[in-house]
Amino acid sequence: MARARGGPRTVSAGVLATLVMVAGLLAACAGVGAPSPGASLGTPPEPRSAILVAHRGASAYAPEHTLASYELGIEQGADYIEPDLQITRDGVLIALHDLTLERTTNVEDVFPDRFREAEVRGERVHVWPAADFTLAEIRTLDAGSWFDPSFADARVPTFREVVELARGRAGLFIETKAPEVYGDLGFDMEAQLLAELAELGLDEPREDPTTPVIIQSFSAASLELLRNEHATDLPLALLIGGDEAAAEWLSPEGLTRAAAFATGIGPAKDLLVADATVVDRAHDLGLTVVPWTFRARSPGDGFATVEDEMTYFISELGVDGIITDNPDLFPRGLARGGP
Ligand code: G3P
Ligand code: CA
């Protein structure tokens, strides 16, 4: 898809129609989705323990994508925290999972008239796209009470604040979310991300060994743009979820194609249970494998606890890392195994 560069900061009706449709899809997916900070996924797997990635922070215990959640993830020993990126109306990168604000903030109460209509699973609903609001407006929102009243002070953080929190303490496992949608709005998420990382001295692999950076995306186009057009050398991981994407990327041909621009893959964990050959085949191509999402509240079929499940993935399947809402339950000190 042709991507707009820089340009306007206003949002056209047509683009927003697309945006709210995608918002519906992402909202539907929302429930799905250091060893030391010295550990790196930028090189082929080494005989070491798996890395621990705190998914949306320690999001089982604190509201996802808030500084409180990231802080707890780091305190619980995460090697990496995992910010998802969205862009505000005035062009600021923020950490937020959904394209829209209503699931994780009180935007409905603060800006009751600023909704757009969207269709989600056949129903007309109101949504509040982040791209409709300036950072100053988003800063007024309570991003914690939906999770628990004790987090009422939590705000949607900027990407820069997340980096500042992690700096020297944990790595960043950054996800470009819906970059095509933001491209259609006149933004360039990849260029913006790399520019911010460059300003922070983090745009080269292991430039700051205490804060390694990995970029992940469900969008192969986003990763190809980063690798080929922006010529970044940072590790890039292709997220793979659902049958269609699995068929496209987990075949021998698909993995070979992925290896042309990515250094790793991030499959939904069920895909590795369905085909246990994926890990070895990916490793043979020099690709790391870091599945998602491991949750105490919903261990995978056949596992009594999420600890058992994570142990199986590390010791038996030989994955390189684990993305979990429960960093405190990560089984430490396990050698990676594999068939
Ligand atoms: O890191 C992978 C995982 O975060 C992808 O799912 O929906 O939680 O962003 P999601
Ligand atoms: Ca994510």
Looking up residue 253, the CATH number of its domain turns out to be: 3.20.20.190
Indicate whether 70 belongs to any domain: yes
- The residue range of the domain holding 59 is 40-98+155-329
Indicate whether 181 belongs to any domain: yes
- Whose CA is closest to atom 8 on ligand 1? 33
CA distance 66 to 62: 8
- The token duo for 240 is 């793979």
Å from CA of 186 to ligand 1 middle: 24
Indicate whether 285 belongs to any domain: yes
- Whose CA is closest to atom 5 on ligand 1? 33
- The token duo for 185 is 């709005």
The pLDDT averaged over each successive group of 10 residues in the chain (339 residues) is 33 46 40 38 58 98 99 98 98 98 98 96 97 98 98 98 98 98 98 98 97 98 98 98 97 98 98 96 98 98 98 96 98 81
Q: How many domains does the chain have?
A: 1
Indicate whether 144 belongs to any domain: no
State the closest ligand 1 atom to the C-alpha of 32, by its place in the atom list counted from 1: 7
- Whose CA is closest to atom 4 on ligand 1? 33
Ligand 1 shell residues, CB under 6 Å: 29, 32-33, 55, 82, 84, 97, 175, 216, 239, 266, 292-293, 323
- Whose CA is closest to atom 9 on ligand 1? 33
Do 232 and 203 touch, CB atoms closer than 8 A? yes
pTM of the complete model beyond 0.85: yes
Indicate whether 338 belongs to any domain: no
Nearest of 30, 62, 26, 78 to residue 290 by alpha carbon: 78
Q: What is the pLDDT of residue 339?
A: 57
Indicate whether 219 belongs to any domain: yes
Indicate whether 72 belongs to any domain: yes
Å from CA of 12 to ligand 2 middle: 27
Nearest ligand for residue 83 CA: 2
Residue whose CB lies within 8 A of the most ligand 1 atoms, among 176, 239, 289, for a mutation test: 239
Q: What is the pLDDT of residue 49?
A: 83
- The token duo for 167 is 């700096």
* Look-up of token digits 């429930």: 31
170-191 as b/e, with b when 16 or more CB fall inside 10 Å?
A: bbbbbbbbbbbbbbbbbbbbbb
Burial of 297 (C-beta count, 10 Å sphere; 0-12/13-18/19+): exposed
- Up-side HSE of residue 325: CA atoms within 13 Å toward CB? 18
Indicate whether 188 belongs to any domain: yes
